[in-house]
Amino acid sequence: MNQKMMRDLQNKMMKIQEQLAEETVETTVGGGAVTMVMNGQQQLQSVRIDPSIVDPEDVETLEDLMVAGVNEVIARSQELATQRMGVLTGGLKIPGM
């Protein structure tokens, strides 16, 4: 691969990264109790918690929902990034991308 091709590939990667910062994925757990939004760069944008599930006597349920929600929204964000980067890699799995 020559330098021009590498530079073009880097520019395309940077453009996709910028677009991923603007794209979001959302997940809801606990039947709508907790909703999380994350961008394509795995940055958490928002968390919404239904006040009816906030029970001082049962903090563990909320903690479990938060863990489940974070894990799910990260997986969705990573999937989005993989899809977008797949345009450049032709579907090849390249470490770090």
Q: What is the pLDDT of residue 89?
A: 66
| Cα distance between residue 70 and residue 86, in whole Å | 24
User: 3-89 adopts what CATH topology?
Assistant: Ybab; Chain: A; (3.30.1310)
Q: Is residue 8 classed as helix, strand or coil in its secondary structure?
A: helix
Chunked into runs of 10 residues, the chain (97 residues) has average pLDDT values of: 87 92 96 97 97 95 97 96 83 55
Q: What is the pLDDT of residue 93?
A: 58
Q: What is the pLDDT of residue 6?
A: 87
Contacts of 79 (CB under 8 A, 6+ apart): 25
Q: What is the pLDDT of residue 87?
A: 80
Q: What is the pLDDT of residue 46?
A: 98
